[in-house]
Amino acid sequence: MPTAQQLIADNVARVRDEIGVAARAAGRDSGEIKLVAVSKYVDADTAALLVQAGCRSLGEARPQQLWEKAEAPSLAGVEWHLIGRLQRNKIRRTLPLASLIHSVDSARLLAALDEEAAAANLAPQLLLEVNCSGDTAKQGFAPEEVRRLLPTLANYSRLSIAGMMTMAALDGDEITARANFASLRRLRDELAPNAPPNVMLTELSMGMSGDFPAAIAEGATIVRIGSSLFDGVL
């Protein structure tokens, strides 16, 4: 029977192959697409198997879990991504650890991040979370809110807005998912020419285990893959 290490290594290789297939189908270079391995399902020892399989970028949904895993010696050198909601009272401890925060979903959070970044002399990389599906259960700015927010982002001088993140509709099919992802790409393309200097909008974080090929077809630069990496393990 294969070990957990071998299963995860095989799963990582398969997912990377699938990313390559989706990229080629879209006429893209797979090197443009970062795989963030979502480790929220597992403990630090199991997450370390992802690192051994070549995944150096790990994503956590809860700040507390990110804090705990960041202290694990077996996960030294990992590039941490916070993909879940960040509460303002958890900013101080999270900012020094997270290479990229995917889930900035309010002007209040932007202001709090900017204030803490100034106090800690940091320049964090952030993504604006956009609710492209309109699901009431999802967090994030509505597209029209992002349009209104754009000129005010220059006020947050300590923050680097690298792009945007979205999730497909909870109950939709592949066609719906692709439409949601295309909506984020079009919003980025609309806003980028008039973005303030600290707003690059180069990154599109979209696509998870069930829909990342559709996201890649619509321009994803980051895919967040969790459950597919643990097939046969969990």
- Whether the CB-CB separation of 92 and 76 falls below 8 Å is answered with no
Which range of residues forms the domain containing residue 80? 4-230
Contacts of 138 (CB under 8 A, 6+ apart): 131, 167, 170
Q: How many CA atoms lie within 13 A of 79 on its CB side?
A: 12
Q: How far apart are CA 159 and CA 73, in angstroms?
A: 29
Tokens of 171: 């109950």
Closest CA to 207 of 2, 6, 18: 18
The pLDDT tens digits of the residues spanning 145-193 come to 999 999 999 999 999 999 999 999 988 899 999 999 999 999 999 999 9
Looking at residue 207, what is its pLDDT?
Answer: 97
The pLDDT tens digits of the residues spanning 72-90 come to 999 999 999 999 999 999 9
Looking at residue 137, what is its pLDDT?
Answer: 83
pLDDT tier, 234 (very low <50, low <70, confident <90, very high otherwise): confident
194: CATH: 3.20.20.10
User: What is the average pLDDT across 183-207?
Assistant: 97
> Taking the chain, what is the end-to-end CA distance rounded to the nearest angstrom?
15
User: What is the average pLDDT across 113-126?
Assistant: 98
Q: Do you know the residue count of the chain? A: 234
C-alpha torsion angle, residues 108, 82, 93, 47 (rounded to 10): 170
**Is residue 136 scored above 90 in pLDDT?**
no
Contacts of 177 (CB under 8 A, 6+ apart): 168, 169, 211, 214, 215
**How many domains is the chain built from?**
1
Looking at residue 1, what is its pLDDT?
Answer: 86
